[in-house]
Copies of this chain bind each other. A is one copy, B any other.
Amino acid sequence: MPITEFDLINTFFTQQSVHRPDVALAIGDDCALTSVPHNKFLAITTDTMVENSHFYPNINPRDLGYKAIATNLSDLASMGAEPAWVSLALTLPKVNESWLQAFSQGMFKILNEYNVALIGGDTTSGAVPSITITAQGFCDKNTVLRRDQAKVGDWIYVSGTLGDGLAGFHLISDLYQSKKSAVNLDEEFLIQRNLHPIPRISLGLTLSRYQLSCCALDLSDGLVGDLGHILQHSGVSAVLNVDHLPCSRSLINLYGREQAELLALQGGEDYELCFTVPDHQKAFLERYLAPLNVPYTCIGRIVEKNPTENIIYQRQGKMVDLHISSFEHFK
């Protein structure tokens, strides 16, 4: 007897261990029913991953399940939101039980870690595998992190290391296209950074709670492109110290410092936070961020809007000329 859509949902997607009191009705009816705390904003984000655009057919479905959730939680982190629920829209050419088993394991692993409930979704047949996640969470109404709140004089910070996601993507591509057959430890690190981004939830919550920042976003399209959004929406420009860019040991080992910096500037899929901190809050940053054990680096400063260059690049305090384009769909 062929497995039906409903059997499939029941088998793989109702086995979660997260049970939240704010979910009155989860999977199984036409809608999920939830409650939102009275004094909070509901933060809502949606992201799609499509085979051959965002991942290769040979990806481990466990990694795919993890990453599809992680990238959406990263959007919640960047608003200073506490994640609560996700919906899953999954399109597959056919039912493959071992694939679904691994995919759901990867998904529930990260959902459990962040106490997020899967509340519903849709499974459909279609020629190209595709995953759309809608993630929701709660923000304090007065301390939201937005991309349009950067002010002249703010310091620009990023979490973690940059460029790993793009370098990892190149390595995954080379392996998939058989341009490469084995990886060393540095390469494996970069691949893992691409497949397992860490949503910076605690960082976003801390920046918001202590009002250390009111301006952040997550680096999905690369620093230059995403910082560009902050600058455009806030009506300001930036000075970036490229020699301050945090690059992983593995990235530098493989590419050298200068090429690593370019990957850090252009690279997509880092899923680190970029945030700005007013000068008078800079001293409090270390105190409040220390317990989180999340690396962070000051990489520049917000300046008055520059009519010709949105971002002014410096190395050791001297202007350098760099031409960097950001990652784009539909390019």
A residues sitting closer than 8 Å to B (CB atoms) are 2-5, 8, 24-25, 28-36, 38, 41-54, 75-76, 78-79, 81, 85, 87-89, 91-92, 94-95, 119-128, 130, 132, 134, 136-137, 139, 141, 144, 146-148, 217-218, 233, 328-331
Residues of chain B within 8 A of A53, CB atoms compared: 124-126
Partner of A5, one of B125, B141, B144, B328: B328
B125, A128: Cβ atoms under 8 Å?
no
Q: Copy number in this complex?
A: 2
Distance in Å: Cβ of A242 to nearest Cβ of chain B: 24
A42, B45: Cβ atoms under 8 Å?
no
Alpha-carbon distance between A31 and B217 when the two chains are bound, in angstroms: 10
Partner of A28, one of B41, B141, B233: B233
Residues of chain B within 8 A of A139, CB atoms compared: 33
Residues of chain B within 8 A of A33, CB atoms compared: 41-44, 79, 139, 144
Alpha-carbon distance between A28 and B38 when the two chains are bound, in angstroms: 25
A217, B30: Cβ atoms under 8 Å?
yes
Closest 4 CB pairs of A and B: A50-B126, A31-B43, A132-B132, A36-B36
B43, A89: Cβ atoms under 8 Å?
no
A46, B128: Cβ atoms under 8 Å?
no
Alpha-carbon distance between A31 and B136 when the two chains are bound, in angstroms: 9
Alpha-carbon distance between A155 and B250 when the two chains are bound, in angstroms: 68
B330, A89: Cβ atoms under 8 Å?
no
Partner of A52, one of B41, B43, B126: B126
Residues of chain B within 8 A of A75, CB atoms compared: 30-31
A89, B46: Cβ atoms under 8 Å?
yes
B89, A132: Cβ atoms under 8 Å?
yes
A330, B8: Cβ atoms under 8 Å?
yes
In the complex with contacts A79-B31, A217-B29, A48-B124 CB distance below 8 A? yes
Alpha-carbon distance between A53 and B93 when the two chains are bound, in angstroms: 10
Alpha-carbon distance between A89 and B72 when the two chains are bound, in angstroms: 13
Residues of chain B within 8 A of A81, CB atoms compared: 31
Residues of chain B within 8 A of A34, CB atoms compared: 41-42, 44
Alpha-carbon distance between A48 and B134 when the two chains are bound, in angstroms: 12
Alpha-carbon distance between A48 and B139 when the two chains are bound, in angstroms: 28
Alpha-carbon distance between A81 and B44 when the two chains are bound, in angstroms: 19
B147, A30: Cβ atoms under 8 Å?
yes
